[in-house]
Amino acid sequence: MTGGVPQDQSRSDSYTPVSIRVQTVLYRPAPGDIDRLFRGLRHAVEVLVAQNDAVSVSVALGDCSSAASLSLDDLASIVAEVKPFGIDGVTYSYFNANLGSARGHNRLLDEFDHDYVLFLNPDVYMSPFALAELALFMPDSSAGIVEARQIPLEHPKSYDLHSGDTSWASTAGALVRRGVIKATGGFDADSFFLYCDDVDFSWRARLAGYRVIHQPTALIFHDKRLTMEARMVVGDAEHYYAAEAALILAWKFSRPDLSEAWASAMEESSMPLQRKAAAEFRRRMGAGELPIPIDPDGRTAQFIDGDFAEHRFSYADV
């Protein structure tokens, strides 16, 4: 871990410390999730700051839960606990509405004035070395999004072993350059509530000329579980929004043929949630609420066997 943290070349004042804002959107966090999030994060920041003290890290939490997950006392306690590790501040916004992850992040990005944003899921524990490993790509201004590797269930999408280039990055744990936020305007919250917001975000970053990098040495623990059939444990909401988002993504990236084929298949499905997702897609189409298609030449979008990148393996093929 010898990578230094460079000054942001887009800024005129070369003596300004590199600022990183960590963003997490909460939705009914499990007991202990927030504590675990900060337990990991504070040591990741500590290692980064130990390598280069010209780094400023702060945290912004947005809460979509039906009741506030943190009290003022909780927040004060967190602030006091993490400060010695180099985290300069923690803000907490209770949205009082379930905005979804895309809109929740966008809401937090309204206040974004940093060089980098680290998107982090609330059920994530960062390795102490993860942030420093992500920061290794800071000197490379073409690296717009640098994604961490997830354990215990690694994402199956392929990446270039040497350059790290990949189709898209999961924002369960990804460091994003300020320029990407400016170029993309953040997430497309009108189109995506939960899933595929990061795929869309990544592809639009690539359309804007940035690279999306998978950094295998940057580790995060993402608290996913497996069934005895070796399938990821997901709830009904995940099933529904994943299906809906896939239809919209294909539409948005100029593959109406795919969205039509998928919607037809879902309409024939025995699973009510799939039929519901297809119905919602049809409704949006009828109401003119679908996004305007982009990337007509397919420069960035990849639709391969129902996935959005080439995959090394699949969690679905039992």
Partner 1 sequence: MPMSDRYKFSLSDDSVYRCVLDLIEQHRPDHGTVMVDIGCGYGAIAETISDLGLGYIGCDVEPSGLVDLAERGFETEVFDLSVPGDAVAAIEKRLGDRALGAIVMIDVLEHVTNGPEVLSALSGLALRQGGVPLILAVPNITHYDIAAKLLLGRWDMTEVGLLDDTHVSFFSDLRLREMTTQSGWAEIGSNDFPLRFSDQHVPVDAAVLQEGAPLHDLLMGVRERSSSAAIVNEFVRAYAPLGATGGRPDIEGNEPAPFLSILMRTQGTRPTTLQEALLSLAAQTDQDFEVLLLAHMVPRDQLTHLQYLVDAYGSDFSARVRLIPVDGGGRSRPLTVGVELARGNYICILDDDDVVFGHWLETFRSVAAKHPGKVLRSPVAEQEVEPTTWAGGRPGYEVRSRPRCRWPEKFDVLDHLWENHSPPCGWAIPRSAFVDQGLAFDESLPVLEDWDVLMQAVLWCGVADTGEVTAVWRRWLTGDSSTSVHSDIEWDQARTAIIAKFDAHPLLLPAQSMTAIQSYRSHILDNEREVNRLRQVALDLQADVNNCRHHAHHLEGLVDEARREVETFRRSSSWRLSKPVRVMGSSVRRFVKPPAPRAARDD
Q: Which of 46, 63, 147, 280 binds partner 1 (CB under 8 A)?
A: 46
**By CB under 8 A, residue 42 contacts partner 1:** yes
- Sequence letter at residue 97: A
Stretch that binds partner 1, among 14-22, 157-165, 234-242, 281-289 (CB under 8 A): 157-165
Of the two residues 107 and 311, which places its CB atom closer to partner 1 in the complex? Answer: 311
CB 152 → partner 1: shortest distance, Å? 5
**By CB under 8 A, residue 43 contacts partner 1:** yes
Site string for partner 1, 215-254 (x = CB under 8 A): -xx-x-x-xxxxxxxx------------------------
**By CB under 8 A, residue 128 contacts partner 1:** yes
CA distance 67 to 90: 19
Site string for partner 1, 92-121 (x = CB under 8 A): ------------------------------
CB 32 → partner 1: shortest distance, Å? 6
Stretch that binds partner 1, among 146-154, 234-242, 243-251, 255-263 (CB under 8 A): 146-154
**By CB under 8 A, residue 315 contacts partner 1:** yes
CB 252 within 8 A of CB 293: yes
**By CB under 8 A, residue 164 contacts partner 1:** yes
**CA distance to 20, 91, 127, 157, 278, per residue, from 44 (Å):** 12, 19, 6, 25, 42
Of the two residues 84 and 288, which places its CB atom closer to partner 1 in the complex? Answer: 84
CB 74 → partner 1: shortest distance, Å? 18
Q: Determine the size of the site formed for partner 1 (CB under 8 A).
A: 40
At residue 259's C-alpha, the angle toward residues 257 and 265, to 5°, is: 105
Of the two residues 157 and 177, which places its CB atom closer to partner 1 in the complex? Answer: 157
**By CB under 8 A, residue 171 contacts partner 1:** no
The CB density around residue 225, as the number of other CB atoms within 10 Å, is 10
Stretch that binds partner 1, among 108-116, 171-179, 199-207, 308-316 (CB under 8 A): 308-316
Q: Which of 9, 96, 163, 264 binds partner 1 (CB under 8 A)?
A: 163
Torsion (CA) 237, 238, 240, 242 in degrees, nearest 10: 150
Stretch that binds partner 1, among 10-18, 66-74, 155-163, 197-205 (CB under 8 A): 155-163
Of the two residues 225 and 283, which places its CB atom closer to partner 1 in the complex? Answer: 225
Q: Where along the sequence are the contacts to partner 1 (CB under 8 A)?
A: 30, 32, 36, 39-40, 42-43, 46-47, 123, 125, 127-129, 151-154, 156, 161-164, 216-217, 219, 221, 223-230, 312-315, 317
